[in-house]
Amino acid sequence: MRREGCDPNDVRMSDVLCDFCGREWGESLPMVEGHLGSCICGDCLRDAYRALVVAGGGGAGGSGHGACRLCREERDERSWSGALPGARVCRRCVRQSAAVLQKDPDLGWRKPES
């Protein structure tokens, strides 16, 4: 998400906040963008990936549980909730975002294996 009151014509890294924990995008905190300016940081993504993909757990998803922040869909699959209220991400987005982050060798981000 974007910091409240930031200039839309001059968005800086520090104006981009993780939708799940609220921290700023920075050199040590990579971000993946979803739809409509939503973002997930590498730390949240690692936790979400571990919960949903590695452990095969996570909370219920689908209608009635709220839409995924990144794709804005109410998908009928498991989801992970971040620290911020109502911040939910579906498993599909977690897998896609993890693949995106891992593709950039400069970031040094790896999918957790356990």
16 binds Zn ion (CB under 5 A): no
**Distance of closest approach, residue 15 Cβ to Zn ion, in angstroms:** 15
* Structural contact between residues 19 and 67, judged by C-beta atoms closer than 8 angstroms: no
29 binds Zn ion (CB under 5 A): no
DSSP secondary structure string for all residues of 31-86? EEE-GGG-EEEHHHHHHHHIIIIIS---B--STTS---TTT----SS-EEE-SSTT
Between CA 80 and CA 71 the distance in angstroms is 13
Contacting residue, 18, 31, 52, 101, with Zn ion by CB under 5 A? 18
DSSP character for 10?
S
Size of the site for Zn ion (CB under 5 A): 10
Closest CA to 74 of 97, 98, 90: 90
- Among the residue ranges 8-16, 44-52, 54-62, 105-113, the one whose residues contact Zn ion (CB under 5 A): 44-52
Among 51, 53, 93, 98, binds Zn ion (CB under 5 A): 93
For position 90 contacting Zn ion by CB under 5 A, the verdict is: yes
Q: Please, which residue, 9 or 104, has the CB nearer to Zn ion?
A: 104
- Contacts to Zn ion by CB under 5 A: 18, 20-21, 41, 44, 68, 70-71, 90, 93
